[in-house]
Structure 1
């Protein structure tokens, strides 16, 4: 994986092969950040990265100037890799090792952007639980966005606060906003 833009542009980050991850493709990530670039000043926002995996999305935010990033993942190897990478590049990324649903049940930290990249084999019920918990617990700041990455085989259009989706190959980003 590589960082697309910002301070660490073109840096390659090589994750250990044994991590249980499916990193967002560079093409999809670049498209996502083109959308976000029109809505946010990256140096002014708080980001919560759920099912963070390798930290791919968080590194992109950090490279673009975001100073407040929290990654949540239940896999110890993923959290360890994110911590090591963040230290190596002096990125302002904090980590929490936790089941994401348990974290969302108790979370009080509000963010401008919440990005969730759960396993593609989740059921639609599991996918729908993410926006349900985010909005029930009011975890987005004013004008914030929840973005859930999923496969084209998952339909999130009926989930609460659904706004729109963008597809890139087999990847789909569904966007959710407060109404």
Structure 2
């Protein structure tokens, strides 16, 4: 796993083979971040990474200048991996929360400039996640939600939907 650009550009982190998480491919990550450049400036932004997995997106967000990133990950081993990655960078920008994403969303009273959600594709509640995030008003005015999902889903009917992007086998729905 590598950081694509920013102050930590080119840094690599080896993901343990036993991990269940599938990090967003570098190809998809690079392309969706290029698209995001037209929506917002990451410099000084506050971001939320839901289902953080390997921390690939959180690391990219911090590298691109986010003032603060909150990473929410339930799996203990994955959370420890994310923690170790930020320790290697000696960077305190990321706040790691090891816990259930749905409980976090329900209890969260903050708003963010950018939210990235990459749930496991087999997650039963996956189709409800964008509406849940948007109904809790976790986005600031002009904030952006990027939701990664499998190709079988169509979220274009949800208020706030802006566009759908496909990079290889990775699908992103973007909301504002």
Unaligned runs of 5+ in 1: none
Which whole-Å deviations, capped at 9, do the CAs of 1:96-128 have from their partners, x for residues lacking one? 1111111111111210111000011134xx223
Q: 8-17 or 67-76, which moves further after superposition?
A: 8-17
Runs of at least 4 residues of structure 1 off by over 6 A?
Answer: none
Q: 22-31 or 132-141, which moves further after superposition?
A: 132-141
Q: Give the superposition deviation at 1:87.
A: 1.4
Structure 2 length normalisation: TM-score? 0.94
Q: Which residue of 2 aligns with 1:103?
A: 104
DSSP-derived class of the 1:153 partner: coil
Matched pairs, number: 175
Q: Give the superposition deviation at 1:157.
A: 2.2
What value does the CA root-mean-square deviation take over the aligned residues? 1.3
Q: Which residue of 2 aligns with 1:171?
A: 170
Q: Which residue of 2 aligns with 1:90?
A: 90
Alpha-carbon separation, structure 2, partners of 1:63 and 1:101: 27
Q: Give the superposition deviation at 1:45.
A: 0.6
Give the conservation status (yes or no) of the 8 Å contact 2:52–2:71: yes
Query: For the structure 1 residues 71 and 87, does the alpha-carbon distance in structure 2 shift closer, same or farther, using more than 3 Å as the test?
Result: same
Alpha-carbon separation, structure 1, partners of 2:48 and 2:20: 20
Structure 1 length normalisation: TM-score? 0.92
Unaligned runs of 5+ in 2: none
